[in-house]
């Protein structure tokens, strides 16, 4: 872990530099330089990825404590936001997400960790990483849905200052939401299918609850995506379905842990 500390420090510095520029631009203190923010963000993601290699213990298997997972998810979310900025004006979100990623990376340096996957289990590693990637995108989609609902409400009441002035246009916010949902659905599909292939049983012990609620979430998001493409679902309908599916995933992840804890005493 100590060998990767310089990369953690660099990543934190890049994250904070990128977020600071966005904050200053929003305050009207500096000009908009999207390329600079992307370069800082890409530098942060690169050094964060190297630091994650040490935090997750990938050389010896996989370490998945709470702080390691938080650091990984924050990396995935920032990577998506940076990639999405090539199509949508999402760099304003870096003002909040970059410092959050820096915080989780910092806290990850103090994580004790718990070895949960031995080396040589590439299939299980793929299942875990696909599932966590899906969770991170759907978590971001939930935040996006809440912002969309707030934006809708402010527009209806003709509030054109404050948060509404910082967010991208409403149509852009909706397109970004469905991009997040589609990417998350693909990863969740891979996570569920790989679980059936590489896990001994998807329905034994706490896995049964996790599998049930994960499939329920998959059906919920799938219905929303089909409803959007075929029936034009959007606005508050999309918000409700997104939050409902994300709640099912939340129950799948934390509920299964509670069940396992109860079973094992």
49/40 Cα distance (integer angstroms): 14
> Exposure of 188 by Cβ count < 10 A (0-12 exposed, 13-18 middle, 19+ buried)?
buried
How many Cα atoms are found within 13 Å in the side-chain-facing hemisphere of 205?
A: 12
112: confidence class by pLDDT, cuts 50, 70, 90? low
Q: Does residue 1 contact residue 7 with C-beta atoms inside 8 Å?
A: no
Which tens digit of pLDDT belongs to each residue from 118-130?
A: 555 667 778 888 8
Helical segments of the chain, H only: 5-26, 34-55, 66-84, 94-108, 122-156, 163-166, 170-198, 206-231, 235-250, 256-264
Please, what is the average pLDDT of the chain?
Answer: 83
Q: Does residue 44 contact residue 101 with C-beta atoms inside 8 Å?
A: yes
User: In this predicted structure, what is the pLDDT of residue 237?
Assistant: 93
Mean pLDDT of 224-234: 94
Q: List, in sequence order, every residue forming a beta bridge with 62; answer none if it has no partner.
A: 117
Extents of the domains making up the chain: 1-120, 121-265
């Amino acid at each position: 872990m100590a060998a990767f500390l310089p990369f953690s420090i660099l990543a934190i510095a890049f994250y904070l530099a990128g977020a600071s520029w966005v904050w200053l631009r929003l305050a009207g203190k500096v000009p908009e330089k999207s390329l600079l923010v992307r370069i800082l963000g890409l530098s942060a993601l690169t050094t964060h990825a190297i630091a994650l290699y040490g935090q997750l213990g990938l050389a010896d298997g996989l370490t998945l404590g709470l702080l390691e997972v938080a650091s990984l998810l924050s990396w995935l979310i920032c990577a998506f936001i940076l990639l999405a900025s090539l199509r949508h004006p999402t760099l304003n979100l870096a003002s909040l997400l970059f410092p959050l990623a820096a915080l989780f990376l910092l806290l990850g340096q103090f994580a004790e960790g718990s070895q949960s996957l031995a080396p040589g289990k590439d299939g299980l590693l793929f299942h875990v990483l696909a599932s966590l990637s899906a969770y991170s995108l759907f978590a971001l989609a939930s935040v996006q849905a809440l912002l969309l609902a707030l934006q809708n409400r402010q527009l209806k009441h003709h509030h054109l200052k404050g948060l509404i002035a910082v967010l991208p246009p409403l149509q852009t916010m909706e397109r970004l939401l469905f991009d997040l949902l589609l990417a998350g659905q693909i990863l969740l599909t891979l996570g569920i299918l790989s679980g059936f292939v590489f896990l001994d049983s998807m329905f034994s012990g706490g896995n049964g609850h996790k599998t049930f609620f994960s499939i329920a979430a998959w059906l919920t998001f799938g219905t929303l995506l089909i409803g959007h493409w075929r029936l034009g679902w959007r606005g508050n309908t999309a918000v409700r379905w997104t939050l409902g599916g994300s709640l099912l995933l939340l129950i799948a992840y934390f509920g299964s842990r509670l069940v396992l804890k109860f079973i094992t005493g």
